[in-house]
Structure 1
């Protein structure tokens, strides 16, 4: 039978040290659980599918410095040359790059006029090759046709009469039946009608931290701009081979421009999530550091307790206590301290999570994570006290006969 009462009375005689360790365990648990929760949340964000063929897609910037330049003619020439390059699946001019943290946004509403409920969306200007180039799936409706594509001048404020939206956007617009969005008329810029002609499965917005990142729309526009982006999708495994080839092709075909910023979508994803990775690394370091500090605190308290009770331990050994019984004493003592600390820590973890939920709009923490955190600290505590407990078990019975 464990001498629980004896252990508790001994702890009460050194309650300051035991309480400090319990509070340290509580603090570690509260921080650990919420830090792991935040790491998981960021990992989920980073692993979200963008909807694009990222592994085989790259883009570049076509910057024009020539005078009296025929933007429309040169754009068609460029796209024709790129699309006919062996290994290229398709190519488009596009106003913004998904996952790049920079782009266009507009809002749609069910009825025209001011003071109407609106839903914001990322906006991508593409031609009829947009769906094929992006590698997204059209799950309802139809694609743009060549006659739908319009030229957009820099100061233009009018919009085409058709749009294609993502499934997530359709669900937000028509929560009862997202498929009913096909053929519906919505309004952009408060009064301009747009008919939804198609729905694509998934296409993320450029802003990876936006809580509506799945909400995107395509409009049939091509831009007259002296700095335009071309998005190119290649056959599997040929992206890196074709990047310098297409850069050279465009640069040599027209000397009145500069081809720059040739970048893969994979690199864009990595760059956009740099802060997420950095935050996760910091949180991981904090978790490890706090756990080690707690473990060393437990070791220090146990060694201090053993040094104070060396003669008492020797007396117990002389009275017949086995090495295992001595070890068990200190392990049970640590378990009691850990139990107090974990109990306080669970309350603290829930409190911190409630603050995170209200401040940063995170989802509530799961009970499973709290249980795992508590069990981890119990195990850490038992492992930490193992060495001091074994050291105590090796105190010889003869120590009881020595004078202080």
Structure 2
């Protein structure tokens, strides 16, 4: 019914074009499969839930140069000022900002240093009891800090004795779910877990610490200070516009070095990944278009070479549908072989990427989906030229030779 033998004979007489198209389809299948998989992985990464009201948060940094400043007292004054500003829900002095790509971290274990136990790497934040409300995160178990637990010291060796822990970190350190009230250790310093935070991404979204964070009731006064401010919905821009003047009025011998929204900080941090996604999308589009144009062009070329064959078949009573079917089957044969070769190539490229760049293993569903889409695309690309061949008049075709 599908006349495989004459189709194969015709392809064997014009091998170069068929082989080039086959290779093009194979390369497209291999690259698009892996590119689509990477795009999906990156999109999941870019769109991951952070647990933070990003649109309502912003960071402000200051650097004091006055010789008369009491840094610890000034931090209290600044926090009070920021919290009392119109449109502000809460504000907190903090050592690091979530989603910013910069912060502090350490290793924490169930037992003191030197003893074998579960150890987890995590980021940590130093802030007071306003941290939870400012960051907009939910405490699902335990309690917040109280004033007696606060440590204000310029000594880096001074450490708080209690901490709030994210649920992801808790579940990893205490898989049986009984971590609240337990003691963990940073080196040999004991820390009691007094509260569990439902979800709060840390400064880094790209490594294993993204869900593992601790908040300690501690402030380290420095000439360079960071504050995070949470505003009422739709009030952030107005508050950001007033913040510098307000801080300089409170204490003029300093510089407000940066005022930036948390969503913009995150966008800067993930800019490379966003660019990669866009570039891969462009690559996929260009490859698919080039492949479609290649199929379209090869089919037109074959039609021009086979005018006599087409005219003869039409003169012998072949229907237009038979001519269209002939080119569809011919293209399907080339495409099927190309897709099969490309599928093996896709798996090979995926394994290589996994070995070199530690990306996840390519899912076979992407290979199957890409293969089906390439086949559909190739059939759609050949329909136009095939219809053109079916409309050739037998008399014109025979006279043109």
Global fold match (TM > 0.5)? yes
Q: CA deviation at 1:23?
A: 1.6
Q: CA RMSD in A?
A: 1.7
What 5-or-longer segments of structure 1 have no aligned partner? none
The residue correspondences of 1:231-242 to structure 2 (distance < 5 A) are 231-242=228-239
Matched-pair contact (CA < 8 Å) for 1:311–1:399 = no
Residue in structure 2 matched with residue 225 of structure 1 by the alignment: 222
Given the alignment, which residue of 192, 195, 209 partners 2:206?
Answer: 209
> Residue deviations 1:184-229, cap 9 Å, x none?
11111x1111111111011112122224311111111112100100
Distance 1:83 1:74 in 2: 14
> Residue deviations 1:33-62, cap 9 Å, x none?
110111111111111121112111111012
Distance 1:211 1:30 in 2: 30
Matched-pair contact (CA < 8 Å) for 1:315–1:399 = no
Residue in structure 2 matched with residue 133 of structure 1 by the alignment: 134
Distance 1:26 1:45 in 2: 29
Residue in structure 1 matched with residue 8 of structure 2 by the alignment: 8
> Residue deviations 1:229-278, cap 9 Å, x none?
01111122211111222322111111111123111112112222211111
Residue in structure 2 matched with residue 157 of structure 1 by the alignment: 157
Matched-pair contact (CA < 8 Å) for 1:166–1:217 = yes
Structure 1 pair 94–76 and aligned structure 2 pair: CA distance change class (3 A): same
2:301 alignment partner, SS class:
helix
Residue in structure 2 matched with residue 339 of structure 1 by the alignment: 336
Distance 1:280 1:112 in 2: 44
Residue in structure 2 matched with residue 97 of structure 1 by the alignment: 97
Distance 1:303 1:401 in 2: 18
Q: CA deviation at 1:304?
A: 2.1
Matched-pair contact (CA < 8 Å) for 2:123–2:209 = no
User: Does residue 39 in structure 1 map to residue 39 in structure 2?
Assistant: yes
Structure 1 pair 102–307 and aligned structure 2 pair: CA distance change class (3 A): same
Matched-pair contact (CA < 8 Å) for 2:119–2:173 = no
Matched-pair contact (CA < 8 Å) for 1:151–1:222 = yes
Distance 1:211 1:46 in 2: 15
Matched-pair contact (CA < 8 Å) for 1:134–1:233 = yes
> Residue deviations 1:4-58, cap 9 Å, x none?
2321222222233212211211110111011011111111111112111211111
Q: CA deviation at 1:403?
A: 7.3
Distance 2:202 2:73 in 1: 29
Distance 1:375 1:403 in 2: 38
TM-score (norm 2): 0.95
User: Does residue 110 in structure 1 map to residue 110 in structure 2?
Assistant: yes
User: Does residue 350 in structure 1 map to residue 351 in structure 2?
Assistant: no
> Residue deviations 1:75-131, cap 9 Å, x none?
111111211223221111011111111111111012212475532111111101111
Residue in structure 2 matched with residue 365 of structure 1 by the alignment: 362
Matched-pair contact (CA < 8 Å) for 2:90–2:130 = yes
2:211 alignment partner, SS class:
coil
Structure 1 pair 80–400 and aligned structure 2 pair: CA distance change class (3 A): closer
Residue in structure 2 matched with residue 274 of structure 1 by the alignment: 271
Q: CA deviation at 1:401?
A: 4.1
User: Does residue 62 in structure 1 map to residue 45 in structure 2?
Assistant: no
> Residue deviations 1:338-378, cap 9 Å, x none?
11111111111122222233333333333332222112111
TM-score (norm 1): 0.95
Distance 1:238 1:59 in 2: 14
2:302 alignment partner, SS class:
helix
User: Does residue 383 in structure 1 map to residue 384 in structure 2?
Assistant: no
Q: CA deviation at 1:337?
A: 0.7
Aligned pairs, number: 400
1:18 alignment partner, SS class:
helix
1:204 alignment partner, SS class:
coil
1:203 alignment partner, SS class:
coil
After TM superposition, the structure 1 stretch with the greater mean CA deviation from structure 2, 392-401 or 340-349, is: 392-401
